[in-house]
Amino acid sequence: MARDAKIMAAAYRQQQQDRDARRREQERREQEVYHRIPRVEEIDRELRGTAAKIVLAAFEEDGDPDAALLKLQNMNLSLQRERAELLVGCGWPLDYLDDTPHCPQCRDSGYLRDGTPCRCLNVYYTQEQNRRLSKLLDLGSQSFETFSYDWYSPNIWPEYGRSPLDNMRTVRAICGEYAHTFGQRSGNLLFTGAPGLGKTFLSACIAREVSERGFSVVYDTANHVFQQFESAKFGRENPYEEDPDREINRYLNCDLLIMDDLGTELMSNFIQSVFYRIVNDRLLSRRKTVLSTNLTVDSLGDRYGEAVRSRIQGEYQVLWFFGDDIRVLKRDR
């Protein structure tokens, strides 16, 4: 799976901050207990010195480390029982002072012995990625579970041969299956239809599900995407205060790119070539893309060129959105 370096760095910082917070809480508990029961501090000091005592005892007992070890084990058990009785006697649980790592796999380092990110760090990565996605998408309320068919008419639209309700049941099912089974064998999707029919809502549902499954997801508008390429190419001022080269790398290399509002940007030969690059490069690298637009496939071909039309027709599953504008329906209800 691809990982965004900036998001991973933020995830690692958050993990280490949480680890440090747990350590501070551990120190606070120790001070609390040691102040009230000084004997517990003495016991802890004695227990921490066990390893050195074993080495010394091995020499002092005429080279018989087994006897020394047994003696120290019995001493430790006695100290641990006394410690437990003192803690419980003052109302604390037995493990109140236990300094155990939050993650036993990596011991809170974030990485396994082979250098790969631990599962716990990947959880932080997903949380950070979702936090950033939530700035653009309402991941808090937009999910497959909250998707409502109430806004889609059951009446058949002759030009489509079916009702908006039946169509959206199919579209929602396809999107749900796509998100739940997302992986290397997944395809690409094109959402096409008028505004206010649920394209962005279902984009958010897919983004949320795929991100929570551990994949890298980038959601952005076409205008913003093309702005980054223009800034990198022509050195134009970037109003978003971002590194355009880093953003371009994210667009081309993330596991899933969701590009919204395609076709609303000011057109130019440069934009045409950039869009071809995005579509073509991601197909060649087998990275998945969801495009959302008000344009038809033929209109996309007229706008971005025959090569783009051919790749979309051959490599994308087209999902049609039609019906009454949900925003208008909500306003009038």
Which residue is it, tokens 């079916």? 162
* CA distance linking residue 210 with residue 218, whole number of Å: 11
Give the model's pLDDT for residue 45. 87
pTM: 0.72
Q: What is the DSSP letter of 217?
A: E
Beta carbons of 32 and 97 less than 8 angstroms apart: no
**Angle, vertex CA 156, rays to CA 153 and CA 157, nearest 5:** 95
Q: Which two tokens stand for residue 71?
A: 């003696």
In sign, the C-alpha dihedral spanning 105, 109, 115, 117 is positive
Residue-by-residue DSSP string for 31-61: HHHHHH-HHHHHHHHHHHTHHHHHHHHHHHT
Return the closest-CA partner of residue 156 out of 140, 145, 167: 167
**Whether the Cβ atoms of residue 251 and residue 291 lie closer than 8 Å to each other:** no
Q: What are phi and psi of 166, to 5 degrees?
A: -60, -40
Amino acid 171: pLDDT: 97
Q: What sections of the chain are H helices per DSSP?
A: 5-36, 38-48, 50-60, 65-89, 119-133, 164-180, 199-212, 222-234, 244-253, 269-284, 297-304, 306-315, 326-332
CA 81/CA 305 separation, integer angstroms:
78
What per-residue confidence (pLDDT) applies to 174?
96
pLDDT 10s per residue in the chain (333 long)? 667 777 888 888 888 888 888 888 888 999 999 999 999 999 888 888 776 666 666 566 555 667 767 777 788 888 889 989 999 999 999 888 888 888 888 888 888 888 888 888 888 887 777 777 766 666 666 788 889 899 999 999 999 999 999 999 999 999 999 999 999 899 999 999 998 899 989 998 998 899 888 898 988 889 888 988 998 887 766 555 567 888 898 899 999 999 999 998 989 999 999 999 999 999 999 999 999 999 999 999 999 999 999 999 999 999 999 998 888 877 766
- The predicted pLDDT at position 241 comes to 53
Domains in the chain, please, with CATH? 135-332 (3.40.50.300)
